[in-house]
Structure 1
């Protein structure tokens, strides 16, 4: 679980990032969760965009992704979710 200070730090790091994944009409599936988990191991922090045609609520999508990958939700702003998970091998972000 992240503290408020850590979330603020990660939000500032994620500000300039572009979304890597998009959740569309089909919603969240096992293949998407596996790809996001692999990307989290490589990058630790990134954004996921939720498309207009996604039928599920953005908070539900964020919870599904966080539970499936073991990541923390840093922020949900608009249709964008920021996820963070500490990498085992490629640790680059030092939390305050």
Structure 2
């Protein structure tokens, strides 16, 4: 299980706020196929939400600890029936992964400008 600081946890919770659950754990529990899907999702996204259809909070907490132990991930949040899990990408060699995206204002193509119509009035 990866240990994260409270600042990292706060940042990851903020990033996870707008995410939808990508994996669901149903009445069959935490099977090998579910763990495989979680692993694939973590490789793709690093930060995921998991919905657990279990009413017992202790069982959900056990699922969270099993997922983090088996998949070398960090527990970010357990709120209601949602679990938030984070694992840095393998490219980052275990360092805290940050999104390396260009800012929203960065453009890759030609810039379009507004043209005003100056016709006969």
TM-score if structure 1 supplies the norm length?
0.86
- What stretches of structure 2 of length at least 5 have no aligned partner? 100-121
Asked if 1:39 corresponds to 2:51, the answer is no
Taking the TM superposition and a 5 Å limit, the aligned residue runs for 1:22-33 are 22-33=24-35
Structure 1: which 5+ runs fail to align? none
Range moving further from structure 2, 65-74 or 9-18? 65-74
Q: Which runs of 4+ in 1 moved over 4 A?
A: none
Indicate the residue corresponding to 1:62 in structure 2: 64
The C-alpha deviation readout for 1:72-92, integer Å capped at 9, x for no partner, is 00000010000000011489x
Q: Which has the higher strand share?
A: 1
Cα root mean square deviation, aligned: 2.4
Match of 2:73 in 1: 71
